[in-house]
Amino acid sequence: MADTLAIFPWWVVAIDYVLGLIMWTLIGRTAMGIFLPETSNFFFMRFFVRSTDPVIRMFRWVTPGFLIPQLVPAFVAWFFFMVRFYLMPWLLGYSVMGMLSFPLESEVAAFVYKLSTRAP
């Protein structure tokens, strides 16, 4: 996290974390929706549906009607990806960042790398 804060202001990291969490939650709902109905009693599916329904409702006006309901969360997640990958760097005056240069994903990748390189 210290490296990320050295590169970006704290508020940029906070905005990216919020947008990233929303995006990955929408992707998680899409993945769970392949295997379970939205009305499932499985606690993860209930969490994904409850936490993403307000976001999906906000994007209903740009969601095409021909999409099957299981793909709507992935379509909305695509908007969050586009904002994080193109709009935020452009507004901040940076060139477009490459893959894994998002602060949230960079921190997760660094954590996984530290776990995988630990001596048993």
| Each residue's pLDDT tens digit, 91-116 | 777 655 554 467 777 778 778 888 88
Between these two residues, 64 and 99, which has the higher pLDDT value? 64
Helix (H, G, I), strand (E, B) or coil at 1: coil
| Each residue's pLDDT tens digit, 8-25 | 778 887 888 899 999 999
Whether the CB-CB separation of 119 and 34 falls below 8 Å is answered with: no
CA dist 7 → 10, 29, 69, 97 (Å): 9, 31, 39, 12
The pLDDT of residue 97: 57
Whether the CB-CB separation of 26 and 74 falls below 8 Å is answered with: yes
Q: How far is CA 30 from the centre of its chain?
A: 12
The pLDDT of residue 24: 93
The pLDDT of residue 85: 81
Contacts of 79 (CB under 8 A, 6+ apart): 59, 62
The pLDDT of residue 86: 78
Residue 66 has pLDDT above 50, yes or no: yes
Helix (H, G, I), strand (E, B) or coil at 89: helix
Domains of the chain, residue spans: 2-116
For residue 24 the two structure tokens come to 């990955």
| Each residue's pLDDT tens digit, 35-58 | 999 899 999 899 999 999 999 999
Provide φ and ψ at 80, rounded to 5°: -65, -40
